């Protein structure tokens, strides 16, 4: 089984090396690594080029945002399975892809493997701020704005072929919309891997404060409406106190 990992980046010189190293450290042999850069100007391109042929495919050109870059990477991918690892995320250990491949092999009918993600502060990559648990995911929760952790999810290329590309009209909610289309509308089968696969720095597009939560909430409601799934603003806002409790429990050591 070939697994394609896609990293999209724009001006990520401070974190891209950490991301690349975590992919190249994987012990699984059949990995295709694709990096899509949005015409960075801060030294990111030079860092990527320093890895030479260790990167399977690399393109650097202007794009129409994060999800346009993801679509480019998916179009380039030749693997059976695709994982998307953003430039401020990294794999927790060297056996992540091995664990994912094993899960697909043991569950041949599954189109997705959902793994856990740790949120960490940019200045402390060891201490977990919050656990994003895929094991607690259920389809009904998507009406309330809960979805699997995108960086911890691996999706068969054939699933993308069935449901189409990430929509470009979203700023931060196109991954939620993709999960709605794959899981709720198309009802493609998935399995939950109760292991932490990825560490994700807080402060990115989807975790950068009240303004980002407001944008994401509006885009979640839009996706649910477009896909004819009933919800409302109050239902989707329920996810915020739940996240607060998760943060509190992490601080208390639970």
Cβ atoms of 140 and 235 closer than 8 Å? no
What pLDDT does residue 248 have? Answer: 62
3-137+147-201: CATH number: 3.90.550.10
Averaged over 171-189, what is the pLDDT?
A: 96
pTM of the model: 0.91
Maximal C-alpha separation, the chain: 50
Of the pLDDT bands very low, low, confident and very high (cuts 50, 70, 90), residue 59 is very high
Domain coordinates in residue numbering, the chain: 3-137+147-201
Cβ atoms of 83 and 4 closer than 8 Å? yes
What is the CB neighbour count within 10 angstroms for residue 143? 18
What pLDDT does residue 50 have? Answer: 98
Of the pLDDT bands very low, low, confident and very high (cuts 50, 70, 90), residue 71 is very high
Averaged over 200-222, what is the pLDDT?
A: 78
What pLDDT does residue 15 have? Answer: 97
Averaged over 117-126, what is the pLDDT?
A: 92
Q: Give percent above pLDDT 90 in the chain.
A: 81
H/E run at residue 22: helix 16-24
User: What Å distances lie between residue 107 and 3, 103, 228, 244, CA to CA?
Assistant: 16, 6, 30, 34
């Amino acid at each position: 089984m070939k697994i394609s990992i896609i990293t999209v980046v724009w001006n990520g010189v401070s974190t891209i090396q950490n991301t690349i190293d975590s992919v190249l450290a994987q012990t699984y042999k059949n990995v295709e690594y694709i990096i899509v850069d949005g015409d960075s100007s801060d030294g990111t391109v030079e860092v990527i080029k320093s890895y030479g042929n260790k990167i399977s495919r690399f393109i650097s050109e202007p794009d129409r945002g994060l999800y346009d870059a993801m679509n480019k990477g998916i179009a380039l991918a030749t693997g059976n399975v695709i994982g998307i690892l953003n430039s401020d995320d990294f794999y927790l250990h060297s056996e992540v892809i091995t664990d994912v491949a094993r899960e697909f092999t043991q569950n041949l009918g599954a189109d997705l493997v959902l793994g856990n993600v740790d949120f960490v502060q940019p200045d402390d990559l060891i201490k977990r701020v919050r656990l994003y648990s895929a094991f607690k995911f259920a389809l009904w929760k998507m009406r309330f704005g809960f979805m699997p952790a995108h960086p911890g999810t691996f999706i068969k290329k054939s699933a993308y072929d069935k449901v189409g590309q990430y929509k470009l009209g979203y700023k931060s909610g196109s991954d939620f919309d993709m999960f709605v289309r794959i899981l709720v509308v198309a009802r493609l089968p998935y399995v939950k891997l109760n292991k932490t696969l990825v560490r994700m720095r807080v402060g990115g597009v989807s975790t950068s404060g009240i303004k980002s939560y407001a944008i994401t909430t509006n885009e979640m409601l839009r996706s649910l409406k477009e896909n004819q799934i009933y919800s409302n603003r109050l239902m989707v806002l329920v996810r915020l106190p739940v996240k607060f409790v998760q943060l509190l429990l992490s601080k208390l050591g639970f």
